[in-house]
Structure 1
Amino acid sequence: MAENTHRVVGIDLGTTNSLVAIMQGGAPVVIPGEDGSAIVPSVVAFDQETHTGFAVGNAARDMLLTQPANAVYSAKRLMGRDLADVEPELKLFPFKLAEGLQAGEVLKLNVGGLTLTPPEISAYVLLQLKKNAERFLGGEVTKAVITVPAYFNDAQRQATKDAGRIAGLEVLRLVNEPTAAALAYGLDKNADGTSREGTIAVYDFGGGTFDISILKLRDGIFEVITTGGDTHLGGDDIDNLLLAVAIDDIRGDLGVEITKDPAAMQSLRKAVIDAKIALSANDSARLAVEVEGKLYAREISRAQFEQLIASVIERTAGPVKQALKDAALTPEDIDEVVMVGGSTRIPAVRALVSGIFNLEARGRKLHTELNPDEVVALGAAVQAQILSGTDHVATNELLLLDVTPLSLGIEALGGVVAKIIQRNSTIPASATEHFTTGVDGQTNVAIHVLQGERELAKDCRSLARFDLKGIPPMVAGLPRIEVKFLIDANGILHVSAKEQRSGTQAQVEVKPTYGLTDEQVETMILDSFDNAEADITARQVIEARNEAQTILEATKKARQQPVWQQLTSVEHEAIASAISEVEASLKDEDHKVIRNAIAQLDKHTRRLAELMMDSAVTGALGGKNMATADEGLGGDIGAPTTAPHAFAPAQIDDKK
């Protein structure tokens, strides 16, 4: 038992079903529950009378049919999301929200007389899986690897970790579900045990989400090079299509409005799911349910079923093709295609994917050997073994490298985005960018962390704001503020800022209370493509104006210096005229006009810059404390091309 106390389990916390697995005898195995089934439905139900008893899995699913107000399912869809994000979906679920919820507030549901957040609901599922593992292993289980959809953002990942913590589990790592599937198939090794190299596509079509990931395998390293996906493309959505047909039939044939009877609706949903599953193996299936003492029955052929769901499964082709484009690959470059999720049992889905990758013509087959419901949990067990440090298992040489789905950066002067970590960067990842101040004597800055692909801050998602205070007052542009982004192995973002001359620093761990849906992530990426030309043009204008303002400020300061008197009246007039031209150009929406005006001012101030530089050098040699080129002299006055970004004025909190 002593050995079992530090065993690390792998958990697939799914939308529809959840599983727990462990490495045993060098291979991953799924741990069965008390009823002998490895699959635990992700349903939680509560005893409304005692408010203490709860059920998870099949028992809870049975209660869902008889006491729908006391049960909750698909909580994973609500993880890390805001009220505004989920309102369109709530009509599909018999969930009651807690009263008084405000926009931006953590989502809470009323279930069985209790008020619970989605992480708390998921924690009940994890508790059941933990219990199953402890009974199987004969000892306490406290550590786990949990899988998440590749498109889960930082808030959704943090919510998953919170669920693990509530359940008494230390979550050692969150692993993308497609990556876990590749691990389960052991695609890192050839039949003779030698290391394999190649490119793998993982098509994950489960109960609630659709994900596509492309992985490179080289020297024992699984590197996710691109991810994509779409929302509402899973078993739930196929169920809803069948459900809509049945509801219309019942309304027309029996004259009954079944949607007004929650218990009958859950019975119908179960019958629909059973029919869907049967149609993956049979040419037809019978859908039957009793409503108000009347029997509704319908025979559905596979051809009818495939025609009904064709538009849904066809929508998965778009993200697949986009993922290939992002990775700069053709379908023929893909060596292996792994199928994950119960919806991949549907023959039409397999035919679609095989056709996209042209497998039949290339003499290749889809990887469907493993149970698509279990494959993610099996892969999580492999990763759990790696992290457990047990050295007798061959898998401990494997390394996983995931990617971040959206770019991350800081708002800079003029509202532009300075991207620090680019989309599809391998994680864990870190990057550093240098910023400066935009106002003389500025002692505080508020740093605005952003996520998205657009060029302007207003078009990106705000992740966090934090203050860096106590900067020694200096000339604008002189402080060097180092901003460091770190994305850890779980995809959680840490941001720190440090003024290098004084050592003043601040940091934040980005934990927003709600996150983006898969659809919002995809929309943000597509918007960046659709608006690329306009965004670049707007950014060029803003950056030209920023540079012009900096040069104007530096030129005005230079006119107060003694060397100004060494210029001729003709030079004075030329500079004044050039200043007026730059000031007028600031109203123009063409960045070329602004930059032409800057170039003219640069031309007429070059001698002034040379005189100021000579004066600074002479003063330094003479031991005088004089202004130097740190004030931005030489070339374009005040705006050398290597200068760091300045923080936006709206973020400045100086003079306090």
Structure 2
Amino acid sequence: MHLGIDFGTTRTVVAYTDRGNYPVVAFTDDDGDAHEYLPSLIGVADQDLVFGFEAARAQADGHPVLRSVKRELASAAVSTSTRITIGDLHPLLLDVLTGYLTQLRSKLETSSTIAQILKSDPITSVVVAVPAHANSAQRFLTLEAFRRAGFAVTAMLNEPSAAGFEYTHRLANSPSARRSRLVVYDLGGGTFDASLVAIHDRSHAVLGSVGINRLGGDDFDAVLADLACQQAAVSPDDLGVEAYFWLLGDAQAAKEQLAPQTRRIVLDVQDKTVIVPVADYYQACAALVEQSITAMGPLVDGLDAGEPDLSTIAGLYLVGGASSLPLVPRSLRERFGRRVYRSPYPAASTAIGLAIASDPDSGYTLSDRLSRGFGVFREADGGQRLQFDSIFDRNQTMVAGSDLTVQRRYRAAHNLGWYRFVEYAGLADGQPAGDIVPYPDVIFPFDPALQNEAPVSSEVEVRRTGEGHLIEESYRLDQHGIVSVTITDLDSDYRQTHQLGLG
């Protein structure tokens, strides 16, 4: 059995391969009801972590629950040592993710629409996704959690790239020789991504990707909850953490039920029933939608000037659960005209695309691009100045299943090498700009005497020593977008290897 798994901010969706079809898996909850997702909820019951439907039940019983655990991955400081707080517990984020995905695997095998099939056709390969703008640590933690949960991950795709597969599979004749490009607009529960994809038959080439790590359905829920508080003349602080948490859940449910003809939203705040006019809600959310459109500027010529050039673009394809909000397609059609299409499976489009990618007989191919660059600040002039060296450009093309390696060689001129690694959204005058993710400093001793004392304290002064040993830096960008570096003193054979995201 080949699966595509979209671990989402609020819901996790699974699709599987079935003779050229890619159905979505349904899960049965404790009441016997079927859902085409597993809630991405983490809760605490009797001082133990519970996940999915069990976490939803714990929430109903008044126990603490963490919504949107995936957003914890978007932090610039996330690593294997990152801890999160759920009630009185402070577990490692990686352990929480592993526990949730272990529960997902158990539900697939015991209480899903493919449970019986898996008894004779066990899971042999899984393709998973991450936001296109995900940093190296986020990619590593996601991949590691899936592996620890027992899934055989064969590939990791960017979410909008996977959704592009679903589009082509469903609308094979839409791209033409003149309009062969697709803009995938992916507004999920916690993140926004967009990719420009060139399509030729079943071959997809990502020409560029942009993203915002903290923009998604959660933000639209918060807007609605805050408007309801205003109507009730109370502040979120007055409600308290638990009551506001419940209000966010009610706001999410009300938002997902909105139709184009809906005129008002009814919510309960404490002991008051309030009515929020939909027009007021949409007006308050307009800035969020505009933020996503502005972010797409690098992908669509003329968008910054207000006149997008769509001459080569087959369409703007809306996916992600939050794109179901009627305001989103309406706003985009006002900007892009009729060439805006919303997937009939907005919450499942990515999972379906991942299942297509997992199918060895589908014939689909993908060359993707990095959405983030990677480089290092180095000591120069005896430690008096830092200079930046870009190692992997953000537009570097990645071919599925292959890694990239870059090497640097030089004679050491200092007693220490102090490397400050960062991922970045762009460069301005040769320096990282935009969304920058720093990683822990790496201190490498060039002085043989210091190599015998490694690790070297950060308090050791950097000083110029003249020409020293020959140093080699080898950077590896694997097929999942995870960066590792090996620094070697070729004269003494002393070396260090570091994988970004490990704390």
For the criterion TM > 0.5, the same-fold answer is: yes
CA RMSD, 1 decimal: 3.7
| 2:437 matches 1:465 | no
Distance in 1, matches of 2:422 and 2:274, equals 52
Structure 1 counterpart of 2:459: none
> In structure 1, what is the equivalent of residue 193 of structure 2?
211
Per the alignment, residue 477 of structure 2 pairs with 487
- Measured against aligned partners, the alpha-carbon deviations of 1:301-321 in whole angstroms (never above 9, x if no partner) come to 432322221122111121011
Equivalent in the alignment of 2:460: none
1:479 is displaced (CA, Å) by 6.2
Which of residues 348, 353, 368 in structure 2 aligns to 1:379?
353
How far is 1:164 from its partner? 1.3
1:424 aligns with 2:399: no
Q: Aligned with 1:168: secondary structure?
A: coil
Alignment counterpart, residue 283 of structure 1, candidates 254, 258, 262:
262
Residue 91 of structure 2 corresponds to: 116
Query: Match of 2:500, as an amino acid?
Result: K
Cα offsets for 1:399-436 (capped at 9, x unmatched): 34232412324526342112222122123553535442
> Residue 347 in 1 paired to residue 347 in 2?
no
How many angstroms does 1:258 deviate by?
7.5
Q: What is the distance in 2 between the residues matched to 1:241 and 1:464? A: 38
**Closer, same or farther: CA 476–12 of 1 in aligned 2, 3 Å:** same
Structure 2 counterpart of 1:11, which letter? I
**Structure 2 CA distance, aligned partners of 1:270 and 1:346?**
16
**Secondary structure of the structure 1 residue equivalent to 2:283:** helix
CA contact (8 A) 2:417 2:444 kept: yes
Aligned residue type for 1:167: A
Q: Distance in 2 between matches of 1:359 and 1:480?
A: 59
Residues 335 and 477 of structure 1: is their aligned pair in 2 closer, same or farther, counting only changes over 3 Å?
farther
Secondary structure, in 3 states, of the residue corresponding to 1:279? coil
SS in 1 for 2:341: coil
AA paired with 2:477? I
1:31 to 2:39 alignment: no
Once residues 496 and 68 of structure 1 are traced to their aligned partners in structure 2, the CA distance between those partners, rounded to angstroms, is 46
Instruction: Give the residue type in structure 2 aligned to 1:408.
Output: G
Alpha-carbon offset, residue 112 of structure 1: 5.3
Query: What secondary structure sits across from 1:416 in the alignment?
Result: strand
Which residue type is aligned with residue 123 of structure 1? Answer: T
Moved more, 376-385 or 148-157: 376-385
Q: CA deviation at 1:476?
A: 5.4
Question: In the TM superposition, what is the alpha-carbon distance from 1:59 to its structure 2 partner?
Answer: 4.2
- Structure 2: 5+ residue stretches without partners: 450-464
Q: What amino acid does structure 1 have at the position aligned with 2:69?
A: A
Check whether the contact 1:8–1:384 (CA below 8 A) recurs between aligned residues. yes
Which letter maps to 1:32?
Answer: A
Q: Deviations over 1:42-71 (max 9, x none)?
A: 1122322xx45x5433442243244242x2
**Unmatched tracts of structure 1, length 5 or more:** 1-6, 87-103, 387-392, 515-656
Provide the rounded CA distance (Å) in 2 between the counterparts of 1:13 and 1:460.
22
Name the amino acid aligned to 2:83: K
State the TM-score, normalizing by the size of structure 1.
0.62
User: Does 2:287 correspond to 1:307?
Assistant: no
Closer, same or farther: CA 263–493 of 1 in aligned 2, 3 Å: closer
Separation in structure 2 between the aligned mates of residue 57 and residue 228 of structure 1, nearest angstrom:
30
Alignment-derived partner of residue 56 in structure 1: 51
Q: What secondary structure does 1:21 align onto?
A: strand
Give me the whole-angstrom Cα distance separating, in 1, the residues matched to 2:137 and 2:467: 35
Post-superposition shift, 1:191?
4.1
Is the 8 Å Cα contact of residues 15 and 355 (structure 2) preserved in structure 1? yes
In the aligned structure 2, how far is the partner of 1:412 from the partner of 1:262? 46
Amino acid at match of 2:378: E
Q: What amino acid maps onto 1:424 in structure 2?
A: N
- Would the alpha carbon gap of residues 221 and 506 (structure 1) be closer, same or farther in structure 2, given more than 3 Å must change? farther
- Matching residue within 154, 178, 184 for 2:160: 178
In structure 2, the partner of 1:317 is 293
Aligned position for 1:401: 368
Structure having the higher strand fraction is 2
Question: In structure 2, how many angstroms separate the alpha carbons of the residues matched to 1:11 and 1:497?
Answer: 36
| Amino acid aligned to 2:7 | L
Q: Does 1:169 find its partner at 2:169?
A: no
Q: Is 1:268 matched with 2:250? A: no
Superposed counterparts of 1:510-589, under 5 Å: 510-513=499-502
Q: Does 1:227 align with 2:227?
A: no
Residues in 1 aligned to 2:500 and 2:169: alpha-carbon distance in whole angstroms? 35
User: Which whole-Å CA distance do the structure 2 matches of 1:257 and 1:230 have between them?
Assistant: 25
User: Is 1:451 equivalent to 2:430 in the alignment?
Assistant: no
Are the counterparts in 2 of residues 450 and 464 from structure 1 also a CA contact under 8 Å? no
CA shift in 2, pair 1:239/1:397, >3 Å: closer
SS of 2:257's partner is helix
